[in-house]
Amino acid sequence: MNRTLSDPKKAYVMWGLLAVNVLIFFILEAVGDSENGYFMFRHGAMLTSAVSEDHEYWRFFTAMFLHFGADHIFNNMLVLFAIGTFLENGIGHGRLAAIYLLSGLGANITSHLINVQNGDEILSAGASGAVFGLMGAMIFAGLFARDLTGALSPIQIIVMLGLSLYHGVSEAVDDAAHLSGLAYGFLLALVLLKLFPPKERLREAYYGYPYGGDGLS
């Protein structure tokens, strides 16, 4: 197998997602204050009553690209870069994008439903659910799809665990979004890699030889 799994130059989707998040952050900082709750609500952050009573379901999506302050976006983008680069080169651009977006949406919806059940009025935003979805996908790939991502070295595992712990303790944690995002990412990787295997895996199964290309498209 001749693939450079950590080549950032080929992680087009990761760079695109990172750029969109950072661009939106700087635009909002230029016109207001990303740490002001009302300002962030006006620009798409997720508020429990706005979704459940006013049916502003679009906030499930917009909240994924908003961050409360520089520390918040730095933490999320750091993990997106570290995990997204490796994962995208292994499973492909489309699968990375699907796992990121669907995990983020699923995490926001799950968090909202729990807040409604608990009667909590919460204002939330951030890419944490999507980022934890990538972590879940990486866990699945490391366990069940090593032919695509390769075996993780002890150092890589330690780095991933360190990033996860750093991410968790360095911001106000939405446990429901994080844990559900992790679970959605794991399940989405199962569907996308096992039920709909990449063409390289199908080629190997049919012809009986391993793929030796330089990455999935």
pTM here is 0.83
Active site (catalytic) residues? 128, 178
Q: For the chain, percent helix, then strand, then coil, each to nearest 5? A: 70, 0, 25
Eight-class DSSP state of 214? S
Q: Which residue has the higher pLDDT, 78 or 102?
A: 102
Mean pLDDT within 83-92: 87
**Domains recognised in the chain with CATH numbers:** 8-197 (1.20.1540.10)
Residues 17-63 have pLDDT tens digits of 999 999 999 999 999 999 999 999 999 999 999 999 999 999 999 99
- How far CA 155 is from CA of 62, 83, 161, 162, in Å, comes to 35, 14, 10, 10
Residues 184-199 have pLDDT tens digits of 999 999 999 887 776 6
**What percent of the chain has a predicted confidence (pLDDT) above 70?**
74
Q: Is the pLDDT of residue 141 over 60?
A: yes
